[in-house]
Amino acid sequence: MRKYDVIYQDLKDKIEAEIYVTGSLLPSERTLQEMYQASRDTVRKALQLLKDDGFIQSQKGKGSTVINRQEYVFPVSGVVSYAELAKQFHLQTRTVILANHFATLPAKSFKDVDPHVTTKQMRFLKRVRYLKGEPDIIDIDYLDPKVVPPIPESAAKDSLYAYLEGQVGLTIAYATKEITVETATEEDRRYLKLPQAAVVVVVRSCSSLVDTTKFQYTESRHRADRFKFHDFARRMRP
């Protein structure tokens, strides 16, 4: 077994045994070099494997933080905004803002993506996304006001992530996502132009910054006839 695989496995075992608990920092790279009598490059390869497999989140100048593996990325299309996807695939889109104010986070709805979620006041943004002139998705966002400033209409209609990263200066890192199929609500039917017995694909997510701060809870309600799922799977190491 390669040296960095040995280091990876030992650190993984210690994380799973809660020797290094969620939210704590792993020893520094220099300390790990001394612990395992390994080069910096070997230690960095081991840390990259831990990051790829969802055990840690690295932040330049602060080290590697142990995260709850259930909070690692489970992408529908990665951690990317609807506007960014539209631009990438040259799609004709339009956004209609239904609400942009404060509202209470419905904690119960997000328990599966964040077991520690609590009911609190959040910035509330609700939008209908149109693709090629037809309503496609209802996006419902709850944003932590301690992290996210007021959302201008221009950002709400364009790319929220471009605004948060480009103008606010946040670094968005990873998200937990849950996908379910649910009976369409009256609001779904009205805004997405669905028949009475329709269903929608609901993607609920909790997004975190590079320092592991949870800043956004999102419920995206998709027309089932237009929803397509793509994912990348890694074979577990024996």
What CATH number is given to the structural domain containing 10?
Answer: 1.10.10.10
Question: What phi and psi, each to the nearest 5 degrees, are found at residue 33?
Answer: -60, -45
Is residue 234 in some structural domain? no
Structure tokens at 44: 């960095």
Same-domain check for residues 112 and 201: yes
Same-domain check for residues 110 and 203: yes
CATH code: domain of residue 162: 3.40.1410.10
User: What does the pLDDT read at residue 83?
Assistant: 60
User: What does the pLDDT read at residue 78?
Assistant: 47
Is residue 128 in some structural domain? yes
Same-domain check for residues 107 and 171: yes
Average pLDDT over residues 68-75: 47
User: What does the pLDDT read at residue 77?
Assistant: 41
User: What does the pLDDT read at residue 131?
Assistant: 82
Structural domain boundaries enclosing 56: 3-67
How many C-beta atoms surround the C-beta of residue 73 within 10 A? 15
Is residue 76 in some structural domain? no
Domain boundary pick from 32, 67, 102: 67
Is residue 237 in some structural domain? no
User: What does the pLDDT read at residue 27?
Assistant: 95
Same-domain check for residues 90 and 191: yes
Same-domain check for residues 59 and 102: no
Is residue 30 in some structural domain? yes
Tally of domains within the chain:
2
Mean pLDDT of the chain: 86
Same-domain check for residues 147 and 49: no
Rounded distance between C-alpha atoms, residue 8 and residue 55, angstroms = 10
| Cα dihedral 227, 180, 80, 82 sign | positive
Same-domain check for residues 106 and 183: yes
User: What does the pLDDT read at residue 80?
Assistant: 53
Rounded distance between C-alpha atoms, residue 168 and residue 155, angstroms = 11
For 176-226, write each residue's pLDDT tens digit: 889 999 999 999 999 999 999 899 999 999 999 988 899 999 999 999 887
Same-domain check for residues 138 and 107: yes
User: What does the pLDDT read at residue 169?
Assistant: 95
Same-domain check for residues 60 and 89: no
Residue scoring higher pLDDT (38 or 234): 38
One DSSP character per residue, 20-71 reads S-TTPBPPPHHHHHHHHT--HHHHHHHHHHHHHTTSEEEETTTEEEE--GGG
Same-domain check for residues 155 and 208: yes
Query: Residue 73: pLDDT band by 50, 70, 90 thresholds?
Result: very low
Choice among 83-87, 136-140, 148-152, 191-195 with the minimum mean pLDDT: 83-87
For 86-127, write each residue's pLDDT tens digit: 555 556 678 999 999 999 999 999 999 999 999 999 999 999
Domain boundary pick from 44, 67, 90: 67
Is residue 168 in some structural domain? yes
Question: What phi and psi, each to the nearest 5 degrees, are found at residue 38?
Answer: -130, 160
Query: Residue 56: pLDDT band by 50, 70, 90 thresholds?
Result: confident
Q: Are 216 and 125 in contact (CB under 8 A)?
A: no
How many C-beta atoms surround the C-beta of residue 36 within 10 A? 17
Average pLDDT over residues 161-183: 91
User: What does the pLDDT read at residue 127?
Assistant: 96
Cut 0.75: pTM above it: no
Continuous segment of H or E residues that includes residue 163: helix 160-163
Average pLDDT over residues 16-27: 90
User: What does the pLDDT read at residue 71?
Assistant: 45
Average pLDDT over residues 10-17: 92
Average pLDDT over residues 80-86: 57
Is residue 165 in some structural domain? yes
User: What does the pLDDT read at residue 84?
Assistant: 58
Rounded distance between C-alpha atoms, residue 138 and residue 179, angstroms = 15
Average pLDDT over residues 58-69: 80
- Using DSSP, state whether 233 is helix, strand or coil: coil
Same-domain check for residues 118 and 148: yes
Is residue 233 in some structural domain? no
Same-domain check for residues 154 and 200: yes
Domain boundary pick from 67, 98, 123: 67
